[in-house]
Amino acid sequence: MGISFIVLLLFVAFVLFSGIFTVRQQTAYMIERLGKFHSVRTAGLQFKIPIIDKTAGRINLKIQQLDVVVETKTKDNVFLRLKVSVQFKVLDESIYEAFYKLQNPTEQITAYVFDTVRSEVPKMRLDDVFERKDDIAMAIRRELEDAMNEYGYGIIKALVTDIDPDQAVKNAMNHINAAERQKLSAEYEAESERIRIVARAKAEAESKRLQGQGIADQRREIARGLEESVDLLNKVGINSQEASALILVTQHYDTLQQIGQHSNSNLILLPNAPTAASDMLTQMITSFVSTQELAEQMKIRNPKNANVKVLEQPKQEIVLNNPNEAK
């Protein structure tokens, strides 16, 4: 009898110890008693009645992520693939619904993601899909929350993590982007060239203006010098005609001297005979004498104009060139 009692005691102890179990953190066990839901056991040391109570299953209370790849097309008939990441968890107050009402939550969530994406994306063009991916994610989360809360699942966040059009479409988009950048680069280069041309034109115009002003000042000083030379010669008894002829010959020889100082000069001065200066002087004097005689004849024919003085030949017109200009 003592042995039987010990065996019975050991059996009772075994049965009692078999009813003790532990539940890990962020996990819940579903306990059924005689085939009917009895309770939810959460983290810690738990006890169930052997044979009568049974563990129906356990459920994960952590936040989980499901990645869904959906292939669809846009409003402008571009096919693309969207990768949607859905983060969800079992609501603490709805563990019973999450375990008993829904057989496979991931398939349910995948079905709602497909339905939402294929109803939202076809309303948008390809560029709008990239710009409004947050709107697509919000629509997915809103649809999932309305459907999954009933089954004890809460949607933490829905993200559109990747938009992958067909490779041909991506190549075309890259070509368009490259063409736009080349166009912008050409516009900037053209504007830069225009600024350089305008700057060169302004600089050249200013250079020409200053050059012309310098030439004008030079000729004005030459004329002033000639005028002073004629006045000086008049004081020593040389008239204006002779003075002008003398100055002309002097400038002629100065020009020849300047040309002779440059051995590599290709300038040819005509006439270039040794008698050129004397011929020029003779022609000048003959011209002045002819002018004087013509003036005397006009006085005889028109007595009313007897008081009219003969104008002297302008000094500027009988000057050949400045020796510096001959270069």
d(CA 151, CA 191): 65
Which 3 state secondary structure label does DSSP give 137? helix
Query: Which pLDDT score is estimated for 245?
Result: 67
Give per-residue pLDDT as tens, 91-149: 988 899 999 888 888 999 999 999 999 999 999 998 888 888 899 999 999 999 988 98
* Average pLDDT score over the chain: 79
Query: Which pLDDT score is estimated for 268?
Result: 66
Which 3-state string (H, E, C) describes 215-235?
HHHHHHHHHHHHHHHHHHHHH
Q: pLDDT grade, residue 317 (50/70/90)?
A: very low
d(CA 137, CA 72): 15
For the cut 80, the answer to whether the pLDDT of residue 252 exceeds it is no
Q: Residue 42 to residues 27, 39, 95: CA-CA distances in angstroms?
A: 6, 10, 11
More confident residue, 315 or 210: 210
Cis amide bond preceding 271, omega within 30: yes
d(CA 159, CA 117): 12
More confident residue, 43 or 11: 43
Query: Which pLDDT score is estimated for 1?
Result: 53
Query: Which pLDDT score is estimated for 223?
Result: 74
Percentage above 90 pLDDT, the chain: 16
Q: pLDDT grade, residue 83 (50/70/90)?
A: very high
Q: pLDDT grade, residue 310 (50/70/90)?
A: very low
β-strand pairing of 27-33 with 36-41: antiparallel
Give per-residue pLDDT as tens, 216-245: 887 788 778 777 777 777 777 776 666 666
State the DSSP H helix or E strand holding residue 161, giving kind and residue range, or none if neither.
Answer: strand 153-165
Cβ partners under 8 Å of residue 88, min gap 6:
63, 64, 65, 66, 105, 109, 144, 148, 153, 154, 155, 156
d(CA 132, CA 7): 73
CA 48, 53, 55, 61: dihedral to nearest 10 degrees?
A: -60
d(CA 314, CA 316): 5
β-strand pairing of 27-33 with 53-60: antiparallel
Query: Which pLDDT score is estimated for 308?
Result: 45
Query: Which pLDDT score is estimated for 271?
Result: 62
Which 3 state secondary structure label does DSSP give 26? coil
Query: Which pLDDT score is estimated for 276?
Result: 64
For the cut 60, the answer to whether the pLDDT of residue 306 exceeds it is no
Query: Which pLDDT score is estimated for 281?
Result: 66
Percentage above 70 pLDDT, the chain: 76
Residue environment code for 303-317, b if the CB has 16+ CB neighbours within 10 A, otherwise e: eeeeeeeeeeeebee
What would you report as the CA-atom Rg of the chain, rounded to the nearest whole angstrom?
A: 57
Looking at residues 45-49, what average pLDDT do you find?
85
Cβ partners under 8 Å of residue 38, min gap 6:
31, 32, 53
CA 148, 152, 154, 160: dihedral to nearest 10 degrees?
A: -40
CA 84-86-90 angle, 5° bins:
165
Give per-residue pLDDT as tens, 55-69: 888 899 999 999 999
More confident residue, 322 or 297: 297
Cα torsion 294, 299, 304, 305: sign: positive
Q: Of 48, 46, 44, 43, whose CA–CA distance to 60 is shortest?
A: 43
